[in-house]
Amino acid sequence: MKISEVMTRDVEVARPTDSIQSVAQRMAQLDVGSVPVCDGQRIQGMVTDRDITIRAVAQGLSGDSPISQVMTGNLEYLYADDDLDRAADKMADSQIRRLPVIDQEQRLVGIVSLGDLAREHKEKVMGRTLEEISEPGGKRWF
């Protein structure tokens, strides 16, 4: 099965110049813990509620500061035509629970979560994936 068959489409995104406060408010309205940061259709990074808490607050940044100051760049991602095993392996190896999905032109087309995989993938694979994601020392940006 392909990632495109289980991923969430129509993902809300932030722009790199959006303020930390406006992105935090949008995350609260959407009841989500992470938002891709895109310049046009190309993904530039990802920001999580934890990024806002740990990076912005700890550094004393104002709510008017651009989200690009606290986003995570250099992302792991999947292609829409990757299969579920690749997604599970990448999540386990990188210890992350959500991955942006891009097309061959590097445009954001969705997000796939551990929950998306769990609904469609083998129980044994998902158990191993969750175990590896949960090991101490991961990237923890999702």
In a domain, 105, yes or no: yes
In a domain, 118, yes or no: yes
Distance CA 86, CA 114 (A): 12
Given the DSSP bridges, would you call strands 78-79 and 98-102 parallel, antiparallel or unpaired?
Answer: parallel
The structural domain count of the chain equals: 1
The token pair that represents 66 in the structure block: 């651009």
For residue 19, give its domain range. 3-133
CATH number at residue 8: 3.10.580.10
In a domain, 138, yes or no: no
| Residue with the two structure tokens 């891009």 | 102
In a domain, 53, yes or no: yes
pLDDT in tens, the chain (142 residues): 889 988 999 899 999 999 999 999 999 999 999 999 999 888 999 999 999 999 998 899 999 999 999 999 989 999 999 998 898 889 888 888 889 999 988 899 999 988 887 776 555 455 555 555 556 655 544 4
Q: Global pTM?
A: 0.79
